[in-house]
């Protein structure tokens, strides 16, 4: 071991790293999939690590945020420390799976290759497609490199406002460029291997041209994401998104050459970020609208994306309204006392049984935290058992034991109320503006990873869904599916669809606060 490096061991993955002395744990652990929800400012407990061997002193922020029992058990905040000696740490998070898309769709064949990218606040999914056949040739997923500066969009805006826009732009441009190159290299390698096998079977020794399945065939990259991701990637000022009325400075489709971005792909390829719809409603929602066919529907439909920000669209081919809601990150386990992302060790499902609770843990074993789907289930079960009142208050208790050492707190219940109340109010108000009621909605698409895994029965029990469950569909990653469809189509129709969608600012509606308060309550 070099005297300028230390041994860092991470469990439960049994990973060993050699790290330079003085390196911030935040920098090391982020590369291993650990999220820093508050951007490493010591304001939350999202980056908790437990010291199994070695020593980390207790910081003032840890004294404030962690209980005495947690500190004595060895729990610390990774963002507060650097490596000054050998350490073995247990992580309260681990790498999460990212929702991809395998849907088939009609398309007009084109020559060459294309890449579709869903640039999420937390995660990124990219797929390489053969534009002649529509086949997916490769997939890459990753945690957004910007997440080290905050887990939610307002943390990114805050970081950008305090001198960090260039850094956030550099991080995401480099990361996406590397993912595109990785996809192309993997595809070219597979193509060469396949051709060698075919040549060997014919007893012919030859190497395929290096461009086959690779760089020279690259034609187009389509990126979708929320408004903050659009602005940070494209170099648009985010200041208008930091204060009322939260309207973006620029919502249009923006086109780049690879040279503009410093990407090592053919310079005749086109890279474009699809247009935003207004406020915090980005091109990921536009892609979702096209993917679900909402813009072509005769019937009234709705699309809800329950990610780090909550977006809602209601409408049909005649008229469409969209809005973003201040749902907060509770659906992804953030700001929850023992919350974590949907990763190994997270309680992902809870059921009321025999006047008690049974829990399902991702990957099995001892639970390490509670993710969004588990939170919704836990509160729904608490309501069924009369442990939680419809007001959100707990009945004769401060916490509800779930499994192992994991607890559901009264503050967690309140966070869920705030999140689900905002989403439910948004859906109700947009529907009313169209002169309809929730009963008139013929289909409700739940988009994104959370929408894919949430129990619809639990969502109905807490009042998040007030639509008959047979009309509710888990739509998967509609942002990525829409981006793939855009690879085969001209850009102009997408711009035209975006102009047909009216953005609604709920805070400007005089009835919003009253409806929000009503929707925060749980159904009796």
CA 156 to chain centre: 14
In three-state form (DSSP H/G/I as H, E/B as E, the rest C), the secondary structure along 183-226 is HHHHHHHHHHHHHHHHHHHCCCCCCCCCCCCCHHHEEEEEEEEC
- Judge residue 335's burial from the number of C-beta atoms within 10 Å of its C-beta, 0-12 exposed, 13-18 middle, 19 or more buried: buried
Whether 2 shows a pLDDT value over 70: the answer reads no
Q: Write the pLDDT tens digit of every residue in 220-237.
A: 999 999 999 999 999 999
**Between 341 and 235, the higher pLDDT residue:** 235
How far is the CA of 510 from the CAs of 108, 207, 432, 505, 519, in angstroms?
47, 69, 14, 11, 16
| Percentage with pLDDT > 90 across the chain | 56
Q: Please, which pLDDT band fits residue 10 given cuts at 50, 70 and 90?
A: confident
Alpha-carbon gap, residue 414 to 336, rounded angstroms? 10
SS3 category, 343: strand
Residue 353: half-sphere exposure toward Cβ, Cα within 13 Å: 9
What is the predicted pLDDT for the residue at 3?
62
Which residues does 15 contact at the CB level (< 8 Å), separation at least 6?
A: 9, 32
Q: Write the pLDDT tens digit of every residue in 75-85.
A: 899 999 999 99
E strand spans, 246-368:
254-256, 270-273, 301-306, 310-315, 320-325, 346-353, 356-361
What are the two backbone dihedrals, phi and then psi, of residue 423, each rounded to the nearest 5 degrees?
-65, -50
Q: Please, which pLDDT band fits residue 14 given cuts at 50, 70 and 90?
A: low
Q: Decide: 290 and 485 in contact? Cβ < 8 Å.
A: yes
pTM above 0.85, yes or no: no
Lowest-pLDDT range, 199-203, 248-252, 496-500?
Answer: 199-203
Please report, for the chain, the start and end positions of each structural domain, with discontinuous segments joined by +.
5-91, 113-285
Going by CATH, does the domain composed of 5-91 fall within 3.30.70.260?
A: no
E strand spans, 234-392:
254-256, 270-273, 301-306, 310-315, 320-325, 346-353, 356-361, 369-370
Place of tokens 């509770």: 330
Q: Decide: 302 and 309 in contact? Cβ < 8 Å.
A: no
Alpha-carbon gap, residue 37 to 59, rounded angstroms? 18
Q: Write the pLDDT tens digit of every residue in 254-281.
A: 999 999 999 999 999 999 999 999 888 9
Q: Decide: 56 and 81 in contact? Cβ < 8 Å.
A: yes
Which residues does 84 contact at the CB level (< 8 Å), separation at least 6?
A: 6, 21, 22
Q: What is the CATH number of domain 113-285?
A: 3.30.420.480
**Between 46 and 303, the higher pLDDT residue:** 303
């Amino acid at each position: 071991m070099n005297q300028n490096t230390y041994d860092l061991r991470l469990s439960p993955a049994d990973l060993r790293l050699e790290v330079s002395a003085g390196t911030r744990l935040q920098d090391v652990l982020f590369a291993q999939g650990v999220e820093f929800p508050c951007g490493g400012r010591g304001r939350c407990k999202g980056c908790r690590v437990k010291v199994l061997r070695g020593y980390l002193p207790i910081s003032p922020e840890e004294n404030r945020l962690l209980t005495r029992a947690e500190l004595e058990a060895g729990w610390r905040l990774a963002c507060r420390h650097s490596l000054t000696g050998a350490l073995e740490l247990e992580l309260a998070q681990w790498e999460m799976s990212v929702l991809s898309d395998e849907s088939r769709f009609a398309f007009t064949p084109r020559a060459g290759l294309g890449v579709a990218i869903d640039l999420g606040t937390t995660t990124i999914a990219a797929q390489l497609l053969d534009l002649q056949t529509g086949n997916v040739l490769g997939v890459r997923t990753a945690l957004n490199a910007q997440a080290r500066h905050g887990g939610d969009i307002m943390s990114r805006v805050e970081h950008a406002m305090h001198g960090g826009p260039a850094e956030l732009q550099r991080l995401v441009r480099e990361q996406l460029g590397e993912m595109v190159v990785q996809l192309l290299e993997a595809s070219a390698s597979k193509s060469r291997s396949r051709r060698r096998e075919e040549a060997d079977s014919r007893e012919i020794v030859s190497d395929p041209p290096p461009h086959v399945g690779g760089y020279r065939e690259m034609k187009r990259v389509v990126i979708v994401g929320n408004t903050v991701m659009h602005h940070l990637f494209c170099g648009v000022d985010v200041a208008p998104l930091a204060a009322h009325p939260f309207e973006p400075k620029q919502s249009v489709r923006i086109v780049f050459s690879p040279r503009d971005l410093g990407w090592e792909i053919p310079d005749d390829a086109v890279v474009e970020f699809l247009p935003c719809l207004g406020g915090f409603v980005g091109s990921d929602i536009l892609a979702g609208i096209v993917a679900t066919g909402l813009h072509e529907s005769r019937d009234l439909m709705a699309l809800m994306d329950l990610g780090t920000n909550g977006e809602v669209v209601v409408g049909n081919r005649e008229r469409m309204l969209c809005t973003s809601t201040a749902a907060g990150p509770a659906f992804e386990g953030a700001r929850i006392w023992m919350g974590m992302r949907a990763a190994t060790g997270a309680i992902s499902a809870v059921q009321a049984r025999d006047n008690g609770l049974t829990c399902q843990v991702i990957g099995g074993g001892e639970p390490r935290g509670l993710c969004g789907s588990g939170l919704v289930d836990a509160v729904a079960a608490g309501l069924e058992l009369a442990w939680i009142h419809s007001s959100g208050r707990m009945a004769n208790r401060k916490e509800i034991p779930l499994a192992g050492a994991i607890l559901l707190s009264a503050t967690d219940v309140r966070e869920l109320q705030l999140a689900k109340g905002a989403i439910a109010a948004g859906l109700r108000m947009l529907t009313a503006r169209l002169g309809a009621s929730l009963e008139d909605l013929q289909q409700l698409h739940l988009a994104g990873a959370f929408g894919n895994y949430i129990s619809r029965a639990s969502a109905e029990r807490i009042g998040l869904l007030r639509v008959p469950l047979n009309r509710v569909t888990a739509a998967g990653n509609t942002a990525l599916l829409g981006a793939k469809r855009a690879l085969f189509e001209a850009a102009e129709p997408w711009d035209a669809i975006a102009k047909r969608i009216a953005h609604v600012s709920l805070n400007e509606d005089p009835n919003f606060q009253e409806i929000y308060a009503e929707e925060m309550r749980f159904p009796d």
